Structure 1
Amino acid sequence: MAEVSAALVKDLRTKTGAGMMDCKKALAENGGDIEQAIDWLRKKGLSAAAKKADRVAAEGLVAVASNGAKAAVVEVNSETDFVARNPAFQSFVATVAQVAIDAGSDIEAVAAAAYPGADKPVKDELTNLIATIGENMNLRRASVLEVPQGVVASYIHSATAPGLGRIGVLVALESAAPADKLEVLGKQIAMHIAATNPASLDVASLDQSLIARERDVLTEQARASGKPDNIIEKMIEGRIRKYYEEVVLLEQVFIIDGETKVSKAVEAAAKDAGSPIKVTGFVRYALGEGIEKQVSDFAAEVAAQAAR
């Protein structure tokens, strides 16, 4: 086996949290290559990062990054909100968002992309961060929006740092209108989306299963009124239109003025800008949504520790 220096062993220990002898063996088995040694330790379950991998990571940060006509939003999870305030973690998440602009919406492609300023992919930089900070982290998801002409505006709600927070929104506006006017409108719509969490951009793109489910509920409610079938059908259609106003972005009342539909606000902005404006898509990420968080029983944990 190859001879390894004490400095190299120390470096590997810092990166992985593994024991000294394990680090020495990992380096010897891999010809002194530290990146291969990291993978060797992870495969053996000896890396601190590997041991933390089964912990639920539902905190962390959402980040947005933009270059005008193209923007990305990413979510990187950690175990605790405390880590979200760590400058190293914040820098990593912000950098991942920048990487995603070119890497795209596939989180595996983002993980495999080169990490700026380091001779390694994003996933390996994350492994080092896990070992350094001491808790599990996860590259959860990424989305990228782009328009051939116009802007993709972004907004962060509950920001902890520029471009970082708990809710991130992208809005794609396709238009030949001046970019500054589009940015203002885009940010307003993004703020609206952060607040209302619409299910779709327009009626045509709304999940048909959601409509069917709502129609079924409304039908039962209407029948309970005892009215004739022709009246019931009109009641249902009226309530379906009301449902669209609740869950479809362009049908919702714009929170900026509390009166105008979003679609009408876009039309007014287009008239003011002197060019048609089309909202072609949006993405809304809320930190930890859909992740089943573990609820710990502190007394049970203490009892379990005492029994060891």
Structure 2
Amino acid sequence: MAISAKQVKELRDKTGVGMMDAKKALVAVDGDIDKAIDYLRENGMAKAAKKSDRIAAEGTTEFVVEGNKAVIIEVNAETDFVAKNDKFKALVDLLARTILSQEPADVEAALAIDVDGMTVSEKIAEATTVIGEKLSLRRFEILTKSDSQTFGAYSHMGGRISVVTILEGANEAVAKDVAMHVAAINPSYVSRDQVKPEELAHEKEVLTEQALNEGKPANIVEKMITGRLNKYLSEICLNDQPFVKNPDQTVSQFAKENNGEVLSFIRYEVGEGLEKRQENFAEEVQREMRKD
């Protein structure tokens, strides 16, 4: 019978095997997904298949910087214990360097990359079998810069949080300090001009209602809204935030006094948005930074 791409994708999502293996299994059992999973288990993919329905919300993030290119990735596992496993660390490093060299467009394309005769998807499934936990490549971002720009990279707690920044000018130490700040404070934007108009409109509406509900006179409500909106923007925009290592200056002032300007940043925290044990590392990062 004809096997559809949708069936192949469903089996791959459930088992982590490569496209050809998924199709072969489906052909062997006339397209029955459950029987295909059994087929794969019977042919050496048992652990990967058994663990396909578990939540992999722990793991690690990692970055690799090579010249004018950098990559930041998140690879998930079921427990934070696995993040300390040497085999898991080796897999993450392999994935990061492979993605950086091949520059795939998205996770699906990354999973299809050939590495020593196996796809990345098959490498992950193989590691799942060896390590004994469901593993998955969740996301990645490839960054590029010009010769006049500088990467800053920082990893907290062995990869619980990773940040890569790009500054115009400055140097690696300054760019890394900005990355540490991003890890600690978790801004949403670099500057105010990046905030979407609809977000500003919504916040202004909320602040207006707050002011009116406080019974403030109409003639001063607008001034109150302006002040509160400025405070809101200073909290979510990196350039306006008090620099963690020296709260007497903003991040943009810190960068400027070091001949730099923040252009962009990427911040990954393990398990963001996934069903997992909730932990907040911001306070801990700030404490660690102040020790320096």
TM-score bin, normalised by smaller chain: 0.7 to 0.9
CA distance in 1, matches of 2:256, 2:225: 29
- Cα deviation 1:14-40 (Å, max 9, x = unaligned): xxxxxxxxxxxxxxxxxxxx9966874
2:267 paired residue among 284, 301, 304: 284
Unmatched 5+ stretches in structure 2:
1-17, 27-32, 279-292
Structure with higher Rg: it is 1
Are the aligned partners of 1:104 and 1:142 in contact in 2 as well (CA < 8 Å)? no
The alignment-based identity, stated in percent, is: 38
Alignment of 1:85-234 (within 5 A): 85-102=84-101, 103-104=103-104, 106-115=106-115, 118-149=116-147, 150-159=149-158, 165-175=159-169, 182-234=171-223
- Code of the residue aligned with 1:282 in structure 2: it is F
2:235 corresponds to: 246
SS of 1:260's partner is strand
- Cα deviation 1:254-287 (Å, max 9, x = unaligned): 11111111111111110xxxxxx33221000000
Are the aligned partners of 2:162 and 2:268 in contact in 1 as well (CA < 8 Å)? yes
Shift of 1:240: 0.6
Give the TM-score normalised by the residue count of structure 1: 0.73
Are the aligned partners of 2:181 and 2:244 in contact in 1 as well (CA < 8 Å)? yes
Are the aligned partners of 1:73 and 1:142 in contact in 2 as well (CA < 8 Å)? yes
SS of 1:136's partner is coil
- Code of the residue aligned with 2:164 in structure 1: it is L
Give the TM-score normalised by the residue count of structure 2: 0.77
Shift of 1:206: 1.7
- Cα deviation 1:177-234 (Å, max 9, x = unaligned): xxxx510111000000000000111111123343233222211221123333231001
Are the aligned partners of 1:251 and 1:261 in contact in 2 as well (CA < 8 Å)? yes
Unmatched 5+ stretches in structure 1:
1-33, 160-164, 176-180, 271-276, 296-308
1:20 corresponds to: none
Q: 1:226 to 1:37 in 2, by over 3 A?
A: closer
